[in-house]
Structure 1
């Protein structure tokens, strides 16, 4: 990891105990645009490990979480009220991590005499939850991931650590019952069948990394992506290859944010050993944070690069796995919203413009290869991640639970536990 800005890290961590994180996310975006890599790592890890704040008198048993269609919340509700300081036990949680459609995990932290880092886990799709302690320092910044139904990986670093080289990984292959420290092994190609993780900073700063879903062993590419400010297309199935989106260059912003140039995508079908690149003629981007276009594919052959250019939705399509690309005619006004995109198994291209309530999100769909787009019901699917047996999409940070689907079409809601 790059050097961390530990002075700024503590302030960002304190801010993370608030229930809504648009300010934290905005700071992370500004820092990323100026390429102050150390501050970005701190803010990104805080954003990964922060979430709801709830208050409950100590000693009261946790009630069962809301579950069922009659209690399904809005897909993207607005900010929730801030609990009064000192009005009860404060708990902060992170983004849910799904191992499959039944196993969901949630990192959380409670602060009284200390702030031990714990996790909640459900083995029955949210009907019941169990809790456990993560073997990390109380003041650790933690990114908890599920890489299999019962296999977890946690990246962590203490705020009192002298530098980022103190960061470490711990994994569990039994749902969190036992943990072990893992040394990351450098490889020329990621092993087939291992779960590739989308980390921050992206693969241009930190080479792609994968975790064995059976053992929790970790391997990392020996070399980083040659695209700049890049991001992994985490919603693509493993069979589609590794897709990275980013920029080929940059120029000075004359005292402002770095100006990125040369939007492009790269794909590897041999675990990252070799890469094929394509560059787009326009400044196609899906975000003001990281990466260029949003890459969407279901089979690795029909691939879309979706983003915005001067406030207009732009869609590029490849029918041959990225060898050649054509700009599709479909467009819409999306302003400066963040773009997410996915191809469902029925071939529909689903596009979400806006990923938080503050962005006033809209959902678009195309059934004709991007030639036309039409508004559709706002809901999960455009940022779906494949898991064994189906798909998961979190509602974080505006919704604190997870959406699960066996087919990417019909979704059910798993609410977070009352901790």
Structure 2
């Protein structure tokens, strides 16, 4: 998943966050794109309702609330506090947890700014942890991913040369004990059965990659997404196809930000060899920066595209895998919050509006396909990542640990390990 996005590092510093690579990269990406548009605009100055089908409202009981279980579950989005201020050289910095299954969980960490990047991993659901060094530059950053219980890959980018051409892949098939460098190969279609990863910069800038869960080998698609500022929907099960969300166009806002226009989704059912696209009216979007509408599906046939239009929640539903769409009648006030959405195994459509403390998040649920919505308890479930045996979700960066679930409805919390 492209990553959680903030309007600027100033907000992050204000909240007391230690700046993380994901946030820095997202801001840098927006600045690069802003400079590109302003350069083009400067050069140019020098050189010279259709009708909407509305789903009916079936009779249905009220939606069950989002369950949260376990010995102790913290607030879903805890208020930041006690974190060293940006620029502090002491204190352990941890990365987003990643899971190969519900027992095998990994994260990257470092003891200080400029210290060697290390990994930590558990094979028993957090009861015991192991640590080791990552073969990456001290001045670099590592995007760590788990593609199997004991297969972990990392993408290392030198901090002094963030250009993607300098990125290197590393892989371990024994839970982090041993690592090797991997050279990606270019393919017409991503291999069946290989987990697909969305890179930080998104498929508009870099093609999608897939990783062999047995060997750690990396395959990269030979073409990028034709959507603007697209992102891979990583909460969709593999059997539902590859779904990419983005925009058909862009505009420059009054503060020089580049805003996506014309929310759209694309789906491929042959590993990325061919794609079909659907464009939505009214600039449907789940964010202002990365990706268009949120996509929720379990089987790839019943699909929801969810976002906001002028501060109101808007839901489109497809019953034929995205070939045709109808707008649901239900709505709710969500302001300019970031939207996350998922379809639970029990058929409840869950929407989380707001992904960080400063967005004052709220949770909505619908048991009738988006015809009506009810406010429900704030908790995980709207951005689950499928893993063998269940689902995982983080609240990164406000929450450092990870939620685990066998059914996508009831969740338990795993605290990050105590690291030296």
Per-residue deviation, 1:32:
2.2
Conserved 8 A contact 2:308-2:314: yes
**Aligned partner of 1:28 among 21, 26, 29:** 26
Residue in 1 aligned with 2:99? 98
1:30 deviation in Å?
8.2
SS in 1 for 2:71: helix
Contact 1:29 1:288 (8 Å CA) reproduced: no
Counterpart CA distance in 2 for 1:365 and 1:416 is 29
2:290 pairs with 1:293 = no
Aligned residue number for residue 304 of structure 1:
304
CA distance in 1, matches of 2:162, 2:292: 33
User: 1:258/1:183 Cα in 2 relative to 1: closer, same or farther (>3 Å)?
Assistant: same
- Check conservation: 2:350, 2:382, Cα contact below 8 A: yes
Distance of aligned partners of 1:184 and 1:24 in 2 relative to their CA distance in 1, 3 Å threshold? closer
Q: How many residues align?
A: 377
Checking the alignment, whether the CA contact within 8 Å between 1:244 and 1:267 is kept in structure 2 is yes
Name the residue aligned to 1:274. 274
Three-state SS of the structure 2 residue aligned to 1:107 is strand
Q: Give the superposition deviation at 1:29.
A: 5.1
After superposition, the Cα gap between the structure-2 partners of 1:71 and 1:20, relative to the gap in structure 1 and judged at 3 Å, is farther
For the Cα contact (< 8 Å) 1:89–1:110, is it kept in 2? Answer: yes
Matches within 5 A, 1:36-47: 36=34
Alignment correspondent of 2:264: 264
Shift of 1:374: 0.7
Q: Which residue of 2 aligns with 1:72?
A: 73
- Please report how far the alpha carbon of residue 200 of structure 1 lies from its aligned counterpart in structure 2 after TM superposition: 1.6
For residues 210 and 31 of structure 1, do their structure 2 counterparts lie closer, same or farther at Cα, with a shift above 3 Å needed? closer
Q: Distance in 2 between matches of 1:193 and 1:219?
A: 12
Q: Deviations over 1:52-94 (max 9, x none)?
A: xxxxxxxxxxxxxxxx933321111101123489999521111
- In structure 2, the residue matched to 1:141 is 141
Instruction: Check conservation: 1:264, 1:279, Cα contact below 8 A.
Output: yes
Q: Alpha carbon RMSD of aligned pairs, Å?
A: 2.7
Deviation at 1:346, TM superposition (A): 1.2
- For 1:377-418, what per-residue CA distance to the aligned partner results, in whole angstroms no more than 9, with x for missing partners? 111100000001100001211110000001101111111011
**What secondary structure does 2:30 align onto?**
helix
Q: Is the 8 A contact 1:20 1:80 kept in 2?
A: no
Instruction: Please give the TM-score of this superposition, normalised by the length of structure 1.
Output: 0.84
More RCO (CA 8 Å, sep 6+) = 2
Tell me whether 88-97 or 218-227 shows the greater mean CA deviation: 88-97
Q: For residues 69 and 259 of structure 1, what CA distance do their matches in structure 2 show?
A: 41
Whether the 8 Å contact between 1:33 and 1:258 is mirrored in structure 2 is: no
Q: Matched residue of 1:203: which SS?
A: coil
Distance in 1 between the 2:204 and 2:85 partners? 41
SS at match of 2:33: coil
TM-score scaled by structure 2? 0.84
Determine if contact 2:30/2:258 at 8 Å carries over to the other structure: no
